[in-house]
Structure 1
Amino acid sequence: MNIIWKSPSKHLTINPQEVHIWKTNLEQLSIDFQNSFNLLNEEEKIKAQRFHFEKHQKRFTLARSSLKKILSFYLSISPQDIKFQYSDYGKPKIIDKINLINLQFNVSHSEDIAIYGVTCDYFIGVDVEYIRPMPEAENLAKRFFSQKEYQQIRGLSSEEKNREFFKLWTGKEAYLKAIGKGIGGGLEKVEISTHKPIKFINLPECNNINYNLLYLTPHDNYLAAIAVEENEQTYHYWQLN
């Protein structure tokens, strides 16, 4: 998929028939680290400082501050005024008082790349992974994937096995994040067909709602998956610099 990532205006609109996907390079944002840190509330600052390694502190800080900047474009308020509440599984949502257009969002980051998904009314989950050698891919598939998926991975060459593992992993995690459960919701219960047409073929706790599955390459050696409630949406792509 050949994607053109556009630069946003300060005020964006979105409707239920649109899915907005954002990306940012956290390494490029590091020059603004102090300003980004100042956008966090006290609880978020404490969480950032709990990370043992400085690079992980920076990635959390930059990913969270970037999320606030992105959401502020739609809500027309200051990033500092973006406040969240959390589900029992830790999934954040914007507090109702300021979320007058019912924005839904999700975020994922791996190494230096962060991906954000934004919709209006419809649940969305995103996952991004840095593609790296996974000699344990087959063992992990046997443990966390369905029997059918494991058999599919088992018969592939090493390079194909690696790619297929990440496609299945990111797709499963994106869906589980969309429904607010995370990977604890059961990776093996989510089944995906990665052959065209790419689609979910088994979804737990979907309440008879279908989900679209989209894969994209936000940067060299990265793979992202987007899972969103099916509503014949159009996709728009933005880059936060």
Structure 2
Amino acid sequence: MLDAHERERLARFRRPDDAARYLAAHALTRRALGAHLDADPAALVFDRTCRCGEQHGKPRLAPADHPDAPGFSFSHAGDVVGLAVHDGPVGLDVEQVRPLADLAGMAAHACAPDERVADDGQFFRLWTRKEALLKSTGEGLSTPMADISIAGDGAVRWGGRAVWLLDLSPAPGYPAALAGPGSAPPAVTEADGRALLRP
């Protein structure tokens, strides 16, 4: 089902768990988009062109093949793999809460001047929110997380951009967030994707 780019990336993983997460995320994406578009999952063509011109950017369906294709974003951490499909740009991130050797250093990288995190759980909640926002624009971590400020009520200040942000909790110890451009979030339906991964 995977294309040459995905197979080459999969072959580079040294740890079986990392390879399994990568494979699950890409297979789930192909199966879900194939079902959405009534298309063969293996025949879907992805464009990964980054702003620099290389093929390591946020994947999207090739517009020549699917001009009305939905936006999508996938993420994986620990035992959780997630996929978001939306009729516009969307970003999804999930992280596994784990002890950080340098919480202060990581917080200095991720927090805006008016933000504080007291523990690892708060840090990963903040990280998923900001990563989802960055993924929704396709900018990824090329834009500093500290440029985004998220208030306690979830309001986002990010250079005047209008964005929506939703917290998700797919499993205990796994904060996740969903984001996109616009003033109001869409209705969100969460579903178990394991059925799509069965042969």
- Scaled by the length of structure 2, what TM-score is found? 0.87
Structure 2 runs not aligned, ≥5 long: 52-56, 195-199
Tell me what 1:142 maps to.
108
- 2:90 maps to a residue whose letter is I
- 2:70 maps to a residue whose letter is L
C-alpha change, 1:130 and 1:179, in structure 2 (3 Å) is same
Identity %: 25
State the Cα distance separating 1:234 from its structure 2 match: 1.3
The secondary structure found in structure 2 opposite 1:169 is helix
* 4+ residue segments displaced more than 3 Å: none
Tell whether 2:47 aligns with 1:85.
Answer: yes
Tell whether 2:183 aligns with 1:183.
Answer: no
- 1:176 maps to a residue whose letter is L
Tell me what 1:236 maps to.
189
- 2:74 maps to a residue whose letter is V
Structure possessing the higher radius of gyration over alpha carbons: 1
* CA displacement 1:39-84 (0-9 Å, x = unmatched): 1112211110011222222221121111100101110011111110
* CA displacement 1:88-139 (0-9 Å, x = unmatched): 151111011332423101111001211111111x211111000112242222
The secondary structure found in structure 2 opposite 1:216 is strand
- 1:145 maps to a residue whose letter is C
Query: C-alpha root-mean-square deviation of aligned residues, in Å?
Result: 1.7
Residue correspondence of structure 1 range 78-157 to structure 2 within 5 A = 78-88=40-50, 90-120=57-87, 122-149=88-115, 152-153=116-117, 156=118
State the Cα distance separating 1:231 from its structure 2 match: 5.5
Tell whether 2:42 aligns with 1:49.
Answer: no
Q: Return the alpha-carbon distance in structure 2 between the equivalents of residues 145 and 77 of structure 1.
A: 42
Q: Return the alpha-carbon distance in structure 2 between the equivalents of residues 189 and 75 of structure 1.
A: 36
The secondary structure found in structure 1 opposite 2:24 is helix
C-alpha change, 1:191 and 1:231, in structure 2 (3 Å) is closer
Higher-strand-fraction structure: 1
- Scaled by the length of structure 1, what TM-score is found? 0.73
C-alpha change, 1:55 and 1:163, in structure 2 (3 Å) is closer
Q: Residue 168 of structure 1 is aligned with which of 115, 118, 126?
A: 126
Structure 1 runs not aligned, ≥5 long: 1-38
Q: For the Cα contact (< 8 Å) 1:83–1:94, is it kept in 2?
A: yes
